[in-house]
Structure 1
């Protein structure tokens, strides 16, 4: 009986491994591919299999695209600080027709495929401080999961593009200046370091769609940086119904006492939803916050769990699935 169960277990285990493709990317030629885009291109279209792309240490200067047909892709870096996916486009750069590529076009990495995950990687836009809008990662795919990753840039570093897209960021480092986390997705940031760089700006510029129950939730995050004291807002509404909540976060002195900005439109004060719950640190000054923001009660904060925010109709649980 025990032998029979063991055989059944081995068969099931073999079947599980058979459902996973594995590629190795190494710039020195020691892997299956020398570039990350070559590995992405090799992922079977519309496959139900998981494809793991293991990326060895190195700087990969590529403008990357994960198409919507490339599903269930996992990218794993050999070393978070030494496995760098980078490019240097910016919004005002001209394309072959002489037209500016714009903010979206500036992204170093476009992610359209759903059920994408990344771990131990650095995503960078190296255009620099004076380049203006220069996106490191543009994420539209649903069920996107990032763990122990770095997002490097200045203005508009992380573009959580997709309305209806659910995204989870765990133990990540995200840096920037103006609106450096922005977009329409529903996104959960947990145990992340949010680094406000010199120059001042806005941590978030959410464009949450009207009717969406949730926008951005920051849980147990640390807001820090080398920017001067009171030079950053927690956020401003890129669209009228922006939703951003900070829960149990450590807010550094870089955060302005007023907390939030209404982006030169008084009407945004009535539609945007900005809230906090039991934050700490020099930047947490609830008595100085704008009157149209909220300090959540114990009952209200119960609505903010990863399961409720990201679960959807398919009960997505990234911590369980990954």
Structure 2
């Protein structure tokens, strides 16, 4: 159902000073909507004042955003890195939301809430909560982010905004007293196999997160979430999902992004994250699929716009396919844990650009990195990263393909990275390293690496822990590495 666009009204200001979306009086609004005010000139976010959403039927306060509370930390917490959970993280139980649980409620025994008083919202059932920006301004538009999962279908709401929340240069914004809209009567059918996300409100959902939240944790068959071209500034986090395809209308036309990183959404003060299976989940990625299987991402762009340890995409699951996708991140731009297949990926990062436990297979991918391309952490139980006809481009001077330094007293003696017919641009002569500790079982291997002009790369100065595969002597090994199923534990990836 499309929005019924009624007359667009200026809100508590001279005519035309603030144009709202959804329009004042709109019906058929998706409950996951953001609230947007568009001005004639750029607004400035204030440091005080509140945004309140009320149920029009009984004037009950449904949601409140306090601009006096900062969005999240801006500096890394001091102190040594904490230990991991003593027992594996439990993904069971009902999916909690802001409607029934206080954000910041620990999701594992003994986990301390994050220090400080910041904005918090539960996303995707992660009750510890995510720090977030309640208002984001780009150009002349101010976008308001209500807490997730509080608005309901078949309800009418009105919004009030204190004057101090936003200011404009001419002083014309005096707040909002009566911005009204009505949500759709009902959600898509529970057995629907395809739903649409559209940032302009014309789909079944306005946000990718809203669509993922709608998908039951247990369902029959595959569900496709089709995302129309548009800009989606949101943290996406989903857990316990299976057999879901998130398909963009076009790779460059769909952009899902957020300024998230380890500083803004850090690990708990007393628990480390993501090092081993069963570790406490990380909240620092722009887009994370956690404890999932059979997921497909295709034809879209995912990005974090923050620096530091900041994944664009973080995967923790099995049998994930990522195809025709662009990922933009900083350190650890792509973290991949569990069997995953990447095809026609464009990946950009600042260092340790691919992190994780694997196994991961990359085919026809383009990877750009300012620092080392990889820090592989697979164990003896599975393969690491294998690249078939991929391009590696250094963007900050010569760098190495992978490094294996000591990591707080630990190392990864079975780390594996294999390049087949790779194109290498700006790679240091040693190619690999440093490699600390016992390198007897490390598998850093190359076959037929070429420069951008197609000529063979000079590998005479390669790190001694690495090895060049020979076309004849290692023919069987090369054939194995060309087979995704051999690398991915017997799984042959096919796009559904």
TM-score, with length taken from structure 1: 0.82
Alpha-carbon distance in 2 for matches of 1:249, 1:192:
10
1:298 equivalenced with 2:475 (yes/no)? yes
Alpha-carbon distance in 2 for matches of 1:45, 1:177:
35
Residue deviations 1:63-105 (CA, integer Å, cap 9, x gap): 111211x210001111211201111111122669889997832
**Unaligned residue ranges in structure 1 (runs of 5+):** 1-18
Alpha-carbon distance in 2 for matches of 1:145, 1:88:
25
Residue deviations 1:275-308 (CA, integer Å, cap 9, x gap): 0111111683221111221111223212211121
Q: Is the CA contact 1:95–1:101 (under 8 Å) kept in the aligned structure 2?
A: no
1:227 Cα deviation (Å)? 2.8
1:318 equivalenced with 2:488 (yes/no)? no
- 1:278 is aligned to 448
- 2:461 is aligned to 288
1:32 equivalenced with 2:201 (yes/no)? no
- 1:208 is aligned to 378
Residue deviations 1:41-79 (CA, integer Å, cap 9, x gap): 1112211321100001111111111211x2100011112
Cα RMSD of the aligned pairs, angstroms, is 2.4
- Within 5 Å, give how 1:256-267 maps onto structure 2: 256-263=428-435, 265=436, 267=437
Aligned length: 285
Alpha-carbon distance in 2 for matches of 1:120, 1:184:
25
Alpha-carbon distance in 2 for matches of 1:183, 1:190:
18
- Within 5 Å, give how 1:196-235 maps onto structure 2: 196=369, 200-212=370-382, 214-228=383-397, 231-235=398-402
**Unaligned residue ranges in structure 2 (runs of 5+):** 1-190, 275-281, 405-410
Residue deviations 1:255-289 (CA, integer Å, cap 9, x gap): 111010035x2x24223210011111168322111
- 1:187 is aligned to 360
Alpha-carbon distance in 1 for matches of 2:389, 2:355:
19
- 1:46 is aligned to 218
Residue deviations 1:166-217 (CA, integer Å, cap 9, x gap): 1000011011121010100200000001112xxx4111111011332x2100
4+ residue runs over 3 A deviation: 94-104
Alpha-carbon distance in 2 for matches of 1:96, 1:181:
20
The 3 A distance-change label for structure 1 pair 28 and 240 is same
3-state SS of 2:439 partner:
helix
Alpha-carbon distance in 2 for matches of 1:220, 1:287:
21
Q: Is the CA contact 2:304–2:311 (under 8 Å) kept in the aligned structure 1?
A: yes
The 3 A distance-change label for structure 1 pair 52 and 185 is same
- Within 5 Å, give how 1:159-198 maps onto structure 2: 159-160=335-336, 162=337, 165-196=338-369
Q: 2:248 aligns with which of 77, 81, 97?
A: 77
The 3 A distance-change label for structure 1 pair 271 and 83 is same
- 2:163 is aligned to none
Residue deviations 1:103-157 (CA, integer Å, cap 9, x gap): 8321111112210001111010100xxx311111110120000110001012110
3-state SS of 1:186 partner:
strand
Alpha-carbon distance in 2 for matches of 1:96, 1:308:
34
1:87 equivalenced with 2:258 (yes/no)? yes
3-state SS of 2:430 partner:
coil
